[in-house]
Structure 1
């Protein structure tokens, strides 16, 4: 909900893109402030978007004599659900007013009140001037874990100047069975789920990064990237999800994972929090679990349940190196890709996926998606070798009952594929093909099928 709103705001105030990065969750707002260091995971063949992982480390902390580093910065405090207390950052800033209005996708509408935004900027010139006579501490744990001499620091933030309300409404109209443990409604009745988020002044909406390089004499320099090169889109490739370790889980543990994933599918607001934590874990560090105390009880319990299944101890301080077994690392890697994929999808599609698990149609849906891929996306060698002539897209689509077909139809529309059925006649067309969404759907179905197969083996 929050990420959808910030993306819309960024699109309005930065229409040409390439500079501002929308914040994914208000929970990690304190980690997205000027002079905080960010771990940037470059886009890969699987995910065509860069990912940004907050740290609790500031630029001053990795300098040998950084304690007295002063560029006149001030920080805002964190926001929380249902809080009415207003907190002002007290910083001189330029202010712009954006009416984010109402935007909807499928059965989901997010309504955000008028937001007053302020900007805090550190120019590269000011940054270099303030650090020119200071040396990097090569003994600092963050510096020692760097794969090279490049890192990123936040040089600009756009944040709320006053408290703001964000409301989300999900509606599912008649005919589709929705699992009772997800939205607590079932059958032909309309389903309505409302959520409200209040976040304070000083909540980060978007940020910019400066790319820094540690020189041979341990000072800092700015790295200037080619803008066009950094925005080239990756060519589509069939996702290869690492499912091996997931399929080795016991039936009981697989059931626990599946039940937890169903809870997550029912509340998409947990996804940005999990994305950030899993990225931190995949980087080899204990995640920042302090945000758990700021979440509502039901949301916190869901996140804690997944962390327990992954073997993450909640007693360790954030930012400390993790010691995990190869099996744990592979399972975490798979879960991270899965959660990243879910985070790209619309909340109504997540509900349809959960319903598909309950109706035991995930396996057939995955086969259908593979046939769509063969016809409209680049086919991989593996799939060409295993293509079964007796199963066609049309024959697979005809295997669904009316209610199953309706659910499957909604899932396929997420990446632009429109499927229709009249009696025994199947028709389809691809409109506005979205390869990123296809990869996300493919991944979600693959992981859910792997767990479902283990549970029902």
Structure 2
């Protein structure tokens, strides 16, 4: 709940900016807190930020601590409500019996952070205080971070803090009615009541009280660290930190872009998708039953942003030859079960070799590609994609992806676009807009235009659509 609330907050107030949402109330984040930044499996994934129990002064060599100059300002007053409603009816006739099923599912997350304060580090003072200072290269945190070539240091230079007790409230309601002796149950697992008429209802209302002075988001300044412990502060937003290495740096990330800098957005997108085409083909080649089950389980996971992040994290650990602990997955029991079902299906495929073992197009890696793309898209994009997980809808979406990476326009009269009713066209337009792509009608043609914005949202949208379409094909 808290992680979803802070992620929503950052997406609303600093979309594409420098703020990082706090994922756990257990994290103690203050100005000058040391945070480890870890690069992810795919080059377009946002880094993972791991707050530590140490401050910048703890890892400096000299005994004289740096006293930070902190500037406090009022930030804004924030109250946000996010929710969705799903309703469906199914009537089926069998030879000896009839079955009817009706279901309603609604959820609402209300974040009342109230008045927020911003604390900023006085950078001029930090620059003066940092002159001729060195890190203690023998410190255990420095040693352990340096050993991992994809990790670097950042220190908190700004944070957004609550100024009053506040709350996050999650309200879930589910109802179902059925006939013919069939029971109905949804993906959540709160309070349960079964009525005599065969109706099933589930309700939960969880309130999380957030104390005063809680950090909900922060920004970092990264460190470029030399062999002898001297460091430079990365003052430009496009400058990243790290440890000085002997010889050429290691490039262990998959899918690193090799498109020329002067290529058009469409050409760069096409080249990246071509590099990943083996992954989509491998998923399409799976048995129909396996693909159908994977798509079904993935659709369930997509109902919960936290579950998508957990699945992506588990698959990444497995791709790096690490044994994941599902006990550390912070999501509902039903979503843990969905994740376990996906892992079992991937294992049954018989091709779960590690990417590091040379099998860069294993089923495991290919499915991780989809899950990690889902984890990168916006909340709006994820919600709409969750409603489009059928061959009927994914076919026209995949065609629009081809349009994006090609000439940028195509006729609306195309047979594959017939499924785009007026209502679905509006949803599709919103879907692409949430990932910085404009979808416009021009007479009997539709045009796609990639907006020049920081990040890789158009690419991850294309990966998500093509991945889901690979699972849905001929299901």
Q: Report TM bin, short chain.
A: 0.5 to 0.7
Q: Compute the displacement of 1:376 (Å).
A: 2.8
| Alignment match, 2:145 | 142
Q: Deviations over 1:265-320 (max 9, x none)?
A: 2223433444556666667766686653x543334434455566667xxxxxxxxx
2:166 is the counterpart of 1:164: yes
Unaligned runs of 5+ in 2: 86-106, 174-184, 190-202, 241-260, 348-353
Unaligned runs of 5+ in 1: 12-16, 74-91, 172-179, 185-192, 312-321, 378-390
Cα contact 1:24–1:272 (8 A) shared by 2: no
| Alignment match, 2:250 | none
| Alignment match, 2:462 | 442
Cα contact 1:23–1:204 (8 A) shared by 2: no
Higher relative contact order (CA 8 A, sep 6+): 1
Q: Compute the displacement of 1:24 (Å).
A: 6.4
Cα contact 2:440–2:447 (8 A) shared by 1: yes
User: In 1, distance between residues paired with 2:30 and 2:264?
Assistant: 31
2:200 is the counterpart of 1:205: no
Q: Compute the displacement of 1:56 (Å).
A: 6.6
| Alignment match, 1:214 | 225
User: In 2, distance between residues paired with 1:310 and 1:197?
Assistant: 36
Q: Compute the displacement of 1:336 (Å).
A: 4.3
Q: Compute the displacement of 1:125 (Å).
A: 5.1
Cα contact 2:170–2:205 (8 A) shared by 1: yes
Q: CA-atom RMSD, angstroms?
A: 5.4
Farther-moved stretch of structure 1 (208-217 vs 434-443): 434-443
State the TM-score, normalized to the length of structure 1: 0.61
SS in structure 2 at match of 1:374: coil
| Alignment match, 1:35 | 33
Structure 1 residues 287 and 101: CA distance shift in structure 2, 3 A: same
Q: Quick one: which of 430, 440, 443 aligns to 1:413?
A: 430
2:296 is the counterpart of 1:259: yes
Cα contact 1:163–1:198 (8 A) shared by 2: no
SS in structure 2 at match of 1:158: strand
| Alignment match, 2:253 | none
Q: Quick one: which of 292, 297, 307 aligns to 2:333?
A: 297
Pick the structure with more helix per residue. Answer: 1
Structure 1 segment 235-250 matched on structure 2, within 5 A: 236=265, 237-238=268-269, 239-240=272-273, 241=276, 242-247=279-284, 249-250=286-287
| Alignment match, 1:394 | 413
2:74 is the counterpart of 1:96: yes
SS in structure 2 at match of 1:243: helix
Q: Deviations over 1:102-140 (max 9, x none)?
A: 577999987532144464859645985897372345994
Q: Compute the displacement of 1:262 (Å).
A: 0.6
Q: Compute the displacement of 1:263 (Å).
A: 0.9
Structure 1 residues 233 and 310: CA distance shift in structure 2, 3 A: farther
Q: Deviations over 1:27-61 (max 9, x none)?
A: 784689853332254999x74xx723133756679
Structure 1 residues 333 and 396: CA distance shift in structure 2, 3 A: same
Q: Compute the displacement of 1:22 (Å).
A: 2.9
User: In 1, distance between residues paired with 2:54 and 2:399?
Assistant: 49
User: In 2, distance between residues paired with 1:364 and 1:333?
Assistant: 26
Structure 1 residues 370 and 169: CA distance shift in structure 2, 3 A: farther
Higher radius of gyration, 1 or 2: 2
User: In 2, distance between residues paired with 1:127 and 1:309?
Assistant: 55
State the TM-score, normalized to the length of structure 2: 0.59
User: In 1, distance between residues paired with 2:327 and 2:128?
Assistant: 32
SS in structure 2 at match of 1:134: coil
